[in-house]
């Protein structure tokens, strides 16, 4: 009567109510790491597999069913005589074997998830847990096709990475980046974000995809603030390994974007694309170390109080429309996070220090040199005097006993305020 089970890939074990094996198919014997199925019939359940602590779970599923007379299902580990572990989903139910006598049997269905979990573990190392789970679903291909999604995107970038990479070996640089990414990934996961990609020294993360959550904008901003706070932990590790500290800048934007698998038939990647994603990257480019710059569209989606240190209007590349961005330093509510205000004061120099600088356009350094003098300086900022008309958000490279990169953060009658974006600045003072 059990011929139906012979060709199943799932294992089937049938016991009487006392635990004596009446039938096991070839798949069941293979999954449990046992011998010829016919040689097992008549054995008690406690005789079938080695008595180990791991295998207690297998026995317990059977006993729980006998005691409760209700369907049972558990994902458990089973260890064979050679010590090999298999991850198996065990489902237990009963059926009537003889309608006249009412005799029943206990059926245990064994589904082997060992290889699937191996694949999942590998996938989760190369992508996020949510993306790995979606890709492994039976209908994952359909679920992950391109769709219009309301989501929030975050770009995070290390400031002064080029200068850092020139100072240490390649293997040490990889260790530094991996530690930094591990800390940031832990925080992004905490706020239910998805790391879409590690971009050299940067991170692209999304909130609200592939799994939607209504408060994705709030989670993203709270996450970014905590990431900035966690730079203390990152730089403590750096100091222990004789690595100079560094900072990160973060940009966030919310809106409608395309989310889904993008690529070829042989190579695909889950991504978010569209104007709103590009805008998040543009916003990040305006940030300096320690900042979380957030678009108004993201601010408008947050139902908790948001504290800012100011706002500015920008016209990002590729658009002609100005947008407002906010320098966020705190959010309240469920995910209450606040950044400490920087207290560093600049020291006035006894006499101005002459320097030269070049303009930066993206990663390209301009060929023309301009003269300036440093009037005041701290470890993160400086006040310049120059005849060249610098504007807020201009990026410059200062030449003085080396190269130091900076961004213009303010222009007043007193001078031009810059924020260093690479270290060390001891080349200047």
Mean pLDDT over residues 203-212, rounded? 92
Q: Report residue 348 CA to chain centroid gap.
A: 43
Sequential DSSP letters for 350-404: EEEEEEEEEEEETTEEPS--EEEEEEEE-SSEEEEE-SS---TT-EEEEESSSEE
Average pLDDT of the chain to the nearest whole number: 86
Q: Kindly give the residue spans of alpha helices, DSSP state H, lying in 99-215.
A: 114-126, 129-136, 140-143, 161-165, 170-190
Confidence band for 117, pLDDT divided at 50, 70 and 90: confident
Mean pLDDT over residues 259-271, rounded? 77
Strand partners, 417: 383, 410
pLDDT of 299:
96
Alpha-carbon gap, residue 22 to 2, rounded angstroms = 10
Q: What is the pLDDT of residues 4-40, one digit of tens each?
A: 888 888 999 999 888 899 999 999 988 888 888 988 9
Residue 429 has pLDDT above 60, yes or no: no
The answer to whether 253 and 328 have CB atoms below 8 angstroms apart is no
Confidence band for 407, pLDDT divided at 50, 70 and 90: very high
pLDDT of 175:
94
What percent of the chain is modeled with pLDDT above 70? 89
Confidence band for 184, pLDDT divided at 50, 70 and 90: very high
Q: What is the pLDDT of residues 124-156, one digit of tens each?
A: 666 666 766 666 554 444 455 678 999 999 999
Distance of CA 20 to CAs 24, 111, 117, 271, Å?
11, 21, 31, 53
Distance of CA 367 to CAs 87, 356, 357, 361, 396, Å?
62, 12, 10, 11, 12
SS3 55: coil
Residues in the chain: 429
Locus of tokens 């469920």: 334
Domains in the chain and their CATH numbers?
3-112 (3.30.450.20), 145-338 (3.30.70.1230), 347-420 (2.30.110.70)
Angle between helices 231-240 and 216-229 (to 10 degrees): 30
pTM summary value:
0.70
């Amino acid at each position: 009567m059990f011929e139906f089970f012979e060709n199943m890939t799932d294992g089937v074990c049938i016991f009487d109510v006392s635990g004596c094996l009446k039938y096991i198919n070839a798949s069941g014997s293979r999954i449990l790491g046992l011998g010829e199925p016919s040689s097992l019939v008549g054995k008690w359940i406690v005789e079938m597999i080695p008595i180990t602590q791991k295998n207690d779970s297998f026995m317990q599923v059977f006993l729980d069913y006998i005691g409760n007379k209700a369907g049972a299902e558990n994902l458990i580990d089973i260890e064979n005589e050679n010590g090999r572990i298999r991850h198996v989903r065990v489902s237990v139910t009963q059926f009537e074997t003889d309608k006249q006598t009412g005799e029943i049997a206990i059926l245990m269905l064994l589904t082997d998830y060992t290889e699937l979990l191996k694949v999942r573990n590998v996938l989760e190392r190369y992508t996020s847990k949510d993306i790995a789970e979606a890709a492994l679903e039976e209908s994952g291909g359909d679920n992950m096709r391109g769709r219009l999604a309301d989501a929030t995107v975050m770009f995070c970038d290390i400031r002064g990475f080029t200068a850092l990479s020139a100072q240490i070996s390649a293997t040490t640089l990889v260790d530094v980046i991996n530690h930094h990414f591990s800390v940031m990934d832990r925080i992004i996961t905490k706020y239910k974000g998805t790391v879409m990609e590690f971009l050299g020294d940067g991170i692209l993360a999304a909130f609200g995809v592939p799994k939607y959550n209504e408060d994705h904008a709030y989670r993203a901003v709270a996450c970014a603030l905590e990431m900035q706070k966690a730079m203390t932990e990152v730089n403590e590790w750096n100091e222990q390994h004789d690595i100079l500290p560094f900072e990160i800048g973060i940009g966030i934007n919310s809106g409608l974007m395309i989310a889904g698998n993008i690529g070829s038939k042989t190579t695909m990647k889950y991504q978010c694309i569209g104007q709103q994603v590009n805008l998040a990257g543009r916003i990040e480019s305006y940030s300096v170390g320690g900042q979380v710059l957030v678009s108004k569209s993201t601010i408008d989606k947050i139902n908790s109080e948001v504290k800012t240190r100011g706002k500015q209007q920008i016209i990002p590349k590729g658009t002609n429309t100005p947008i407002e961005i906010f320098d966020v330093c705190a959010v309240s509510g469920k995910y209450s996070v606040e950044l400490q205000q920087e207290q560093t004061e600049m020291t006035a120099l006894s006499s101005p220090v002459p320097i030269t600088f070049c303009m930066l356009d993206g990663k390209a350094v301009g060929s023309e040199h301009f003269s300036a003098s440093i009037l005041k300086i701290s470890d993160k900022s400086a006040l310049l005097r120059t005849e060249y008309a610098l504007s807020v958000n201009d990026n410059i490279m200062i030449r003085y006993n080396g190269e130091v990169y900076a961004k213009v953060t303010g222009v007043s009658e007193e001078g031009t305020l810059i924020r260093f974006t690479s270290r060390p600045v001891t080349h200047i003072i």
